[in-house]
Structure 1
Amino acid sequence: MDKQKELEVKRFMAAKIAEGVNLSDVQKLVNQEFGLKLTYMDVRILASELDNIDWDANDPKAQELAKEKARAEAEKKRQEEEGIEPEVEATPGDGRTVVEVSKLVRPGTALSGTVKFASGSTADWYVDSYGRLGIENLQGDKPTESDIMAFQDELKKALGQ
């Protein structure tokens, strides 16, 4: 395809993408309009070279994320204006228990992850196939009873319970 025809195809594609047409349909339209036999991969490569395309404009997930971000920023601004202390994310070592759930399931477990106790100790945690909670690889002092209770509460929050 010569440069002039490629430029025409890219302009056509940019217009169709801006209208919300997906790449599969753009491929069909380009092949019909210009009498070409472009593969889907050819269309993707050409589309990747387009400038000033808002790829998230027609993506419902991206739009929802943008709305959530805008709401969070508006709430943060409102809290600042009213003098309300915003809720701070817990960071390791700040005196709060931090629980992380691993995306990869370890063999022999149903769930697993790590915990940083308020006292500063760290450990790996797991839930086995029988639903039993366990802690291993403890680094630091033995967690206190309040550490364990805070861990269980944070784990419930992390798991949406």
Structure 2
Amino acid sequence: MASLTPAQTAQVASWVAAGATLSQVQTRLAAELGVTMTFMDVRFLVDDLNLTLIEKEEPKKPEEPVAADATAPAADPAAPAAGGAVTVEVDTIAQPHAMVSGNVTFSDGQKADWYIDHQGRPGLTARLPGYRPTQEDIVEFQTKLDVALRQAGF
């Protein structure tokens, strides 16, 4: 690790105080002071100088909309009682022949079981023999299934 003069050390401290990341400090050391250091050496330097890196709060902002989205599906089970909405539920334990499974309630109140088998093939079995949902319901089912599977980690 290269030895820095007190002036260079003060410069590094000002960069860190201004919110520079370790990578930015490493780049500026080379560009402005002509001192090349590895990332780990820069990390040790910051630690030796008892400097604290400023954490940016940007990652907290995306979590808030995700939390709001997570509460939205909780209202979906009440939708069939009000009438008109397609709701999708994912089983906590998949059916034996499926990688993931669940059920759907279409806008007319009819229910069906859906699954995706171990080959990745989708399937839909209506509980009322011969039932066929409308094209609009199928499109809404596909959209809501995609959202539900993403929330479940698939």
> When the two structures are superposed, what TM-score results if normalisation uses the length of structure 2?
0.45
The structure with the largest alpha-carbon Rg is 2
Q: Please give the TM-score of this superposition, normalised by the length of structure 1.
A: 0.43
Whose relative contact order is higher, 1 or 2, with alpha carbons under 8 Å and at least 6 apart? 2
